[in-house]
Structure 1
Amino acid sequence: MSSRRIALVFPGQGSQYVGMGKALHDASEAAREVFKRADEILGFRLSHLCFSGPEEDLQDTINAQPAIFTVSLATLAAIKEKLHEAGVKLNPSFVAGHSLGEYTALVAANVIDFEDGLRLVRERGRLMKEEGEKIPGGMAAVIGLDEEVIQRACEEASSEGIVGIANSNSPGQIVISGELKALHRAMELLQQQGAKKVIKLPISIASHSPVMQRAAAQFAEIVSHMKLRDPQIPIVANVTGQILTNVEDIRRELSHHITGPVQWTKSIREMLSHGTNGFIELGPKRVLTGLIQRISPGVDTISTDS
């Protein structure tokens, strides 16, 4: 690991599934400790929700966010445990997370500790769920159209409400987000424009959209009072796609994080431009691994989930 420039990447909401983390929990003492701490901090058995569901509860934003966060950090703990046994230290050049995963990256970089991070993402999920109940929204992945075409469709559909680009995930894959009526209109228009696929995502909110403005303002107030540390590992930001190395940059990033679009393609290219030649995805599913391979075909990628 030390002879290569490795980036650790952490997935966001939508990667959750019932059973995630169970094999990890059974195999690793370090992972078991992470799940145990999460259960104690939150005051309910988050671990049981991850391992056994029910699925409807796991899909709920207020639960999905801390669940993915915990599974991802349990994965990191298990990997560090195994490497330590082999006398090897994990020494990444960068960390980055997709949407929710950015908070996991903050813990991995020692900007915040696990307990603060867990409480933060639980509160993030609560605020976003609350806003989603006031203004029903959702998200959809669009495959096979240029960003300009998607932007024009969203502008046309905005006569029905708020809708816009939320995630630039990889060349040919962009996610849109907004109020349900406007989102469905944009999906219709994009299908008419010849998109290969337009897929409604299993997310009950309009994340990374102005729909979340009130939730973002409340969340920013919470973050403003949190003690943050300069990152021990450089973090690549979602909103700007640039490297963050100090607390001031991180606070600025987080203040825009809930409403600003995720520039994932730009983030990966930023790390590649600084010599990164391998990516390890830590957390449920293999979503980011697939995106990275589309952004940079042939680059070494490892997913820790089977």
Structure 2
Amino acid sequence: MARAFIFPGQGSQAVGMGGELAEAFPAARQVFEEIDDALEQRLFRLMQDGPESDLVLTENAQPALMAVSMAVMRVLEAEGNVDLKKSAKFVAGHSLGEYSALAAAGAIGLADTARLLKRRGKAMQRAVPVGEGAMAALLGLSLEEASAVAEEAAQGEVCAAANDNATGQVVVSGSSAAIDRAVEIAKEKGAKKSMRLNVSAPFHCALMQPAADEMRDALEGVTIKAPVVPVVANVTAGAVSDPERIRELLVMQVTAMVRWRESVLYMKDQGVGSLHEIGSGKVLATMTRRIDREIEASAVNTPEDIEKLLASL
């Protein structure tokens, strides 16, 4: 049975994350130190001590989540001699998690990944003034139904499906007033629940185009190698290994929908029977069970989780 390693996105951050890893494993401590040096910031201290209000800022949350994911990967390599090429058929990540996946697969260096995510977070926050954009979760509607709600709610403004996370779990993104309309229309259309999300910007929609333009510039200056295993890209829900195509898709990803449900089903169709969520939290493992209960899913973020995974490889 083939495996894939998957990497969480924004929302999985929590004060204290990575602390157990750093205490238990020198390889994890080294990752956190390398990222602090690359960013010229005491990010690990912020991850441990907060305040949470600073950690959740997009420019901090994105590199911090990647840091925990890469700390787990380095520990797996150091403690269990894990060779990703032998252990996984694919890697994939949700939004910023795609950068973690690429770093894990050796396509982008650790320092470059940290700097790219710091810049990505800042660019996304700058793209839309606070209060002018929003996101909402529409629960109980299919992607087609949620897209129809977004189209009806737009009324000349931006409103689009941003995350197809799991069956009946779609997030829409766009102009603040349009998102408010989408919440009400979704209720009328039979959504089990529709609610605005507590996010700082309208991610993965056309309003993010200024951030996409900035990331195009940022990515041009970074070396991207072929990953040791293919990456299942958010934009296409298919495998990619060509460095220039990866670069192109990372730019597109800023404004495009995250096709996570389709990505998981693609991996299943390719023979993957188990997914291991590498990094903070267990959001993707929980989503996997909603997408297809035949796929085994586990979260790997503590020393105990690592020991369990190594015993199964």
Same fold by TM (over 0.5)?
yes
Where does 1:192-231 land on structure 2 (aligned, <5 Å)? 192-231=188-227
**CA pair 29-130 structure 1, distance change in 2 beyond 3 A:** same
Partner of 2:155: helix, strand, or coil? helix
Query: Please, which of 271, 287, 301 is the counterpart of residue 275 of structure 1?
Result: 271
Contact 1:169 1:291 in 2 (8 A): yes
Q: Aligned pair 1:151/2:143, yes or no?
A: no
In the alignment, what sits opposite 1:58?
55
The Cα offsets for residues 106-162 of structure 1, whole Å up to 9 and x where unpaired, read as 111111100001000000001111113277322222211122221222112112721
Instruction: Structure 2: give runs of 5+ residues left out of the alignment.
Output: 303-313
Structure 2 partner of 1:253: 249
In structure 1, distance between residues paired with 2:133 and 2:243: 32
For each residue in 1:45-98, what CA deviation from the matched residue of structure 2 results, as whole angstroms up to 9, or x when unmatched?
1011111210111111111111111111112122222313xxx54521110000
Which ranges of 4 or more aligned residues in structure 1 deviate by more than 4 Å? none
Asked if 2 retains the 8 angstrom alpha-carbon contact of 1:95 and 1:234, the reply is: yes
Match among 56, 66, 70 for residue 69 of structure 1: 66
- 1:48 corresponds to which of 26, 45, 49: 45
Q: Are the structure 2 counterparts of residues 94 and 31 from structure 1 closer, same or farther at C-alpha, using a change threshold of 3 Å? A: same
Deviations 1:3-52 (A, max 9, x none): x4110000111111111111111111111111111111111210111112
Q: What's the counterpart of residue 13 of structure 1?
A: 10
What does residue 39 of structure 1 align with? 36
Q: Which runs of 5+ in 1 are unaligned?
A: none
Deviates more, 1:214-223 or 1:91-100: 214-223
**RMSD between aligned alpha carbons?**
1.6
Aligned to 1:118: 114
Q: Which residue of 2 aligns with 1:142?
A: 138
Give the share of equivalent positions with the same residue, in percent. Answer: 39
Q: Which amino acid aligns with 2:224?
A: L
Q: How many residues get paired?
A: 300
> Quick check: 155-164 or 237-246, which moved more?
155-164
Please give the TM-score of this superposition, normalised by the length of structure 1: 0.93
SS of 1:133's equivalent?
Answer: coil
Q: Which amino acid counterpart does residue 33 of structure 1 have in structure 2?
A: Q
CA distance in 1, matches of 2:24, 2:156: 50
Aligned partners of 2:273 and 2:294 also within 8 Å = no
In 2, Cα distance between equivalents of 1:32 and 1:202: 31
Kindly provide the amino acid, as one letter, of the partner of residue 104 in structure 1: S
Range that drifts further, 5-14 or 244-253: 244-253
TM-score by length of 2: 0.91
* Contact 2:93–2:234 (CA under 8 A) maintained in structure 1: yes
1:180 equivalent to 2:176? Answer: yes
Indicate conservation of the 8 Å contact 1:208/1:259, yes or no.
Answer: yes
Where does residue 78 of structure 1 map in the other structure?
75
- Relative to 1, partners in 2 of residues 1:109 and 1:160: Cα closer, same or farther, differing over 3 Å? same
The DSSP-based 3-state class of the residue aligned with 2:272 is coil
User: Which residue of 1 is the match for residue 307 of structure 2?
Assistant: none
Deviation track 1:247-270 (CA, whole Å, cap 9, x = no partner) reads 122122112110010111111111
CA distance in 1 between counterparts of 2:146 and 2:296 reads 30
Q: Which amino acid aligns with 1:205?
A: A
